[in-house]
Amino acid sequence: MSIVQILLEKDVPCTLRDGTVLYADIYRPNMDGTFPILLTRLPYNKDLPMYSHRYLDTNRMVQNGYVVIVQDVRGRFASEGEFVPFLYEAEDGYDTVEWAAELPFSNGRVGMFGLSYYGFTQLLAATERPPHLHAIAPAMTLYDWRENTVETGGKFLVGSSETWALESIAPDQINRKYKDPKQHAEMMAKMAEHYNRIEEWYLYKPIQDWPPLKELGVADFFYDLVGDKWSEDQWDRVNITNKYHNIEVPAYHIAGWYDNFLQATIQNYTKLSEMMDSDQRLIIGPWGHGLFSSILGERSFGIHASGDWIDQKEDLTNLHIRWFDHWLKDKNSALFEEAPIKLFVMGINKWRSENDWPLARTKYTPFYLHSGGGANTRFGDGFLSCEKPEKEPVDTFMYDPANPVPSNGGGTLFAGVNTLGPLDQREIERRDDVLVYTSEPLERALEVTGPIKVILWAKTDAADTDFTAKLIDVMPDGKAYNLTDGIVRAMYRNGRKQEEALNEEVVQYEIDLWATSNVFLPGHQIRVEISSSNFPRFDVNFNNGTTTLDGTKYTTANQTIYHNVEYPSHILLPVIPSNKN
């Protein structure tokens, strides 16, 4: 279908079951007939293409015979009501889908698209089973507003939570609250000043008294979250992990190796695939959150890595059109002649199709931590190898909460410099509180694709503490690029709901590093960093049962890392046989 003219209708009302009116912009073919609907629901202003369209050419969607609807969610911008993150999105999503299906130019078939917050509005709506929702395409999104969004295993996500509340939510709430022009201007100026100083504000403690939002008088939900004031019923409403069985629509999941929602997006795909395998698809590129360029951090992966020219075949818009053409137009799509998973393998920088996650041919291989020798000479550093350790001395370091290890790239989402993607870690590795274990240079290429974890045996003299781990690809010239990382809080080592004390004993910790896909090329080295902090990505553990979230006083912790016959600390790598490279 070739459509030249596009008709735009602004601020079209949708009345919800409780009488609240939400407003949407509708882009549709300027011609007679009915068409399938592509809907997105977001809190970031339907009028701003950077947010409402972002990575897709919605004009091209209309030109291909779709009506595109972009709606402000409850309590945001043009829409009525009170904004509470995600709390009403399931029911509001259901009502909006059914409203869209009844519009005079609709053929009754609705699909949804969008990333991040407006990826989750799709999944939440799908849990309510709206009859006219036929397919979704959630990109870089979550499965739970609490886990991996506000916190990870009890560790508060400082940078992302503070950035999101101040940058993305506060301005519109200032607009809605302060109608006097002078007062409004003052508050907007204060908001800008706070945001310009946000790297200083990350340091403020306790976070539960964080001044910027209190001074502005907006985003009260932030203090409810950090004060743990939400009820279990509220948390359940913003969590789909026990509602996957309610989701009966096909979904195309879009993820990035350096996205802060990588783990959640992969889980959404795998859990839904268990119930309807043929209707789920997954693509993972070398991307960051909402960033689909071929360049990320300090690395370039080639133009074919870009979302604008995936594998030199198509862009993300065309991928969406093919997906929705199949489900909303009954077109036979070559998409279903392809494998369900498309991965970008870093290192060799190639796209590859797969049928399973984790890959069925994976050989989970432990690389053990050893003391001294090998590729390093600095005291406290060690080496990695597949040989099990025997009798070896321990490694120790002191963790000082007053001087936490700074976050340096990774799968993050917060304001500041050096916050996202693959960055050289050598400056971090010079710190005395970062232990570095490096393999000998590889003689042959080694592919690592899949979920990764570190099994660490450690002891601390603190009442509580954290342990971190990071997987690094070391170039022949010494540059050390991070692939993935993780953290565990000692008291929550066996789960968020199983708080356990420490008694200066050797404890086994499992540190989830999420996943990656990378070929360590000949001459490269595999490296693992071990430490106790990653700030401001995570709150700082004060080693006494409090953190920057709720405390002001701290103590240092003496950390002991074990790697011997009895306590064989290691990283478990998903090694892929080389004949598939």
Positions annotated as catalytic residues are 116, 259, 289
Task: Identify residue 535 by its one-letter amino acid code.
Answer: F
The closest of 82, 103, 84 to 24, measured between CA atoms, is: 103
Taking only Cα atoms into account, the Rg of the chain, rounded to an integer number of angstroms, comes to 24
Q: Which residue has the tokens 């046989």?
A: 577
* Number of Cβ within a 10 Å radius of residue 417: 7
- β partners of residue 384: 369
Q: What's the CA gap between 186 and 217, in Å, rounded?
A: 12
Residue 206: HSE in the Cβ half-sphere, 13 Å Cα cutoff: 14
3-state secondary structure of 581: coil
Task: Spell out a b/e string for 106-140, using b for 16 or more CB atoms within 10 Å of the CB, else e.
Answer: bbebbbbbbbbbbbbbbbbbbbbebebbbbbbbbb
| Cα dihedral 81, 82, 84, 88 sign | negative
Would you list the DSSP string of 467-478? Answer: EEEEEEEE-TTS
Beta-carbon count within 10 A of 236 CB: 15
Sign of the alpha-carbon torsion through 152, 155, 159, 164: positive
The pair of structure tokens assigned to 355 is: 């049928």
